[in-house]
Amino acid sequence: MIDKLTVYPIRIMVIYFVIVNSIAIYLFPGGSLYDSSLTTYSFSENFFSDLGVYETIRGEQNFFACFLFNSTLVMMGFACLSFLFVPRLFKGNKASYICATIGSYIAILSGLSFLGVGLTPADLYFHEHVFFVIVGFRSMVPGLFFLTIAFFLSPVSNKYTTASILFLVSITVYSIFETSNPPETSPRENIELFRETVDYNRMVISVIAQKVIALISFISFFVFTYGFYQLTLLKKY
Q: Residues 142-149: what's their mean pLDDT?
A: 97
**138 SS3 class:** helix
Q: Are 151 and 119 in contact (CB under 8 A)?
A: no
Instruction: Look at residues 87, 148, 136 and name the one whose alpha carbon lies nearest to residue 110.
Output: 136
Predicted confidence at residue 232, as pLDDT, reads 85
Among residues of the chain, what percentage have pLDDT more than 70? 97
Average pLDDT, the chain: 93
In this structure, the dihedral spanned by the alpha carbons of residues 168, 174, 175 and 178, taken in order and rounded to 10 degrees, is -170
Q: Are 21 and 72 in contact (CB under 8 A)?
A: yes
Per-residue pLDDT reduced to its tens digit, 104-145: 999 999 999 999 999 999 999 999 999 999 999 999 999 999
**59 SS3 class:** coil
pLDDT greater than 50 at residue 237: no
d(CA 92, CA 88): 9
More confident residue, 138 or 7: 138
d(CA 222, CA 92): 23
Q: Are 46 and 32 in contact (CB under 8 A)?
A: yes
Q: Are 62 and 54 in contact (CB under 8 A)?
A: yes
pTM here is 0.92
Can you name the residues that pair with 55 across neighbouring β-strands?
61
Q: Residues 26-30: what's their mean pLDDT?
A: 96
Predicted confidence at residue 2, as pLDDT, reads 65
- Number of neighbours of residue 110 by Cβ within 10 angstroms: 25
Instruction: Look at residues 236, 237, 228, 224 and name the one whose alpha carbon lies nearest to residue 90.
Output: 228
Q: Residues 21-50: what's their mean pLDDT?
A: 95
- Number of neighbours of residue 57 by Cβ within 10 angstroms: 22
pLDDT greater than 80 at residue 234: no
pLDDT greater than 50 at residue 69: yes
Helices (H), 45-92: 63-79
pLDDT greater than 60 at residue 169: yes
Q: Residues 157-165: what's their mean pLDDT?
A: 94
Q: Are 106 and 146 in contact (CB under 8 A)?
A: yes
d(CA 78, CA 33): 31
